[in-house]
Structure 1
């Protein structure tokens, strides 16, 4: 089976580091820092949209987008001090790989930061295929990134694993079954997210995959 994973809010809880880096960029540009709970709701559509939402929340000049975005990217790409793996992620990825499933990553996180996070947590070994937020001209929830990832895997039934409304919409657009991890960054009730499977413990994903193959 081909299993494609989202990253932020699905495999790793990176919101604290994202919050720190975006606030450093905002303050560096002469703007005001934003609270963690607010920034957390801005995660999911990629770095440009994150910065755009932060500027809008501050009623700041949209022309500051490029400056703040670059500051965020420079400060965040190799910063993982506050980021953690969700429980049981590593062991489950090991089990899925050992069982012969083909794994890939499809995230709106910039590619440089994505590879930095994978290396930091020793996850690179699991993902020969990585599609980042700047790999293609279009990002999730467009179907193109997910389909691009699947095109690089062997022909087989597929499953997309994610945590957010963006991921659910991406799976629907690509006509791929969706498994929702409920402990990430979603804002919508789980039962309203068009997920074929819902789980709150990564060990449950093994049974979901077994039932899908």
Structure 2
């Protein structure tokens, strides 16, 4: 792990799924219900987990081999959304160490926030269901701005909400598009290799300035002024 983060950092922004929360069980179950409703055999959660960070596209790809170009994709996606909405807090949990990490950031006097590609339809109730997220200085969803990651707009919006320059914010995520978005926004970036796509990819090729193998590893990258 390379320590590169300077005392100029005033906030840490996080991706949500695969970085702060393990939502794979609920995402996978929502897609798997579609299989069993059609008389197809259930798949194990481990089949869904690697693609949980890709949302409906990833889950439908695993469950049905379906891509967004499929003529039924939008219909299947809405069915998946309804299934997920009905159960999205049932088996979703913080990754070990996340609550302690957030507490430590607050003790250091750092702001923190969430920037996810999840739509507000899911982000708002999910974040509200977890008390640890109540002090987030910014919560930006995939449809908060006209563009989702890997476009930098959501990250720039979060920085604006916190009244900070982009280079005063660090972005942490488990998907290459998180790192692409962070770099485009001018933020130091950290790859969460314990996350969904981080665990399945060569994260050294993403261009992140640092890598962490667990949430609490992030504290080793921070120096206070």
**Superposition TM-score, scaled by structure 1 size:** 0.85
Contact 2:28 2:59 in 1 (8 A): no
2:218 alignment partner in structure 1: 205
SS of the aligned residue for 2:139 comes to strand
Moved more, 14-23 or 72-81: 72-81
Distance in 2 of aligned mates of 1:199 and 1:210: 16
Q: How does 1:181-200 map to 2 (within 5 A)?
A: 181-185=192-196, 186=198, 187-200=200-213
1:171 alignment partner in structure 2: 182
SS of the aligned residue for 2:18 comes to coil
Moved more, 93-102 or 119-128: 119-128
Contact 1:93 1:126 in 2 (8 A): no
Deviations 1:109-135 (A, max 9, x none): 122322222223213313131111222
Aligned pair count? Answer: 211
1:145 alignment partner in structure 2: 154
Residue ranges of structure 1 left out of the alignment (5+ in a row): none
Moved more, 201-210 or 25-34: 25-34
Distance in 2 of aligned mates of 1:8 and 1:41: 12
What RMSD in Å do the two structures reach over aligned CA positions?
Answer: 2.7
Distance in 2 of aligned mates of 1:66 and 1:30: 21
Residue ranges of structure 2 left out of the alignment (5+ in a row): 1-9
**Superposition TM-score, scaled by structure 2 size:** 0.81
Change in 2 beyond 3 A, CA 1:35/1:155: same
